[in-house]
Amino acid sequence: MSLSVPDALPGFIIVLQKATALFEEEARARLTTGHASLFESIQHAKDFYARAARAKVRTVRKMEPGAVAEIEVTSWFQGKVVDSKMVYFFEGPLTGHDDFQRIIRHRFTETFQLRPVILLPYGKVGDRWSVSAHSRDENHDSHDYEIKQIYSVGS
């Protein structure tokens, strides 16, 4: 990421606002009646991202809607570090919905990951956990995660 998280987050909120509008258009074109809860979720997201666009970025200790976690991922293979990088995970309304994630990936650049990276019950600065690699083809045995910082525009 070329910008710092506090500098990049406001621009990403604008992307999320646009993606929410596109998601609503697609849902209205595809769905008929009987999906009131989805449209309530969309309206909640529109309201949330409108507030977030006006909010100042601040650091917080725990994940919340509208927050980005800066996570250091260290990959191991046969007891040696083979890669270490920072990833950025955003949590907010609609971000868990597959079609919303598809819109972000295909229409916009995905500055922050929307797919869940943080395992429950983790979600605070300093939390650490390890995950076995999905396959040996990755040339990794395991991945260690540590939340380094959390920034938020949430309420």
Query: 27-77, pLDDT tens digit by residue?
Result: 888 877 677 888 899 999 999 999 999 999 999 999 999 999 999 999 888
Alpha carbon distances (Å) from 59 to 36, 55, 74, 131, 150: 35, 12, 23, 27, 6
Radius of gyration of the chain, Cα coordinates, nearest whole angstrom: 17
Q: What number of other Cβ atoms are within 10 A of residue 46's Cβ? A: 18
HSE-CB of 78 using CA atoms within 13 angstroms: 2
Give which of 34, 142, 126 is closest to 81, Cα–Cα. Answer: 142
Between helices 98-107 and 5-30, what is the axis angle to 10°?
120
Q: Tokens 């597959």 map to which residue?
A: 98
Q: Which residue type does 110 have?
A: E
pLDDT tens digits, one per residue of 70-117: 999 998 888 899 989 988 888 899 988 888 888 888 877 666 777 777
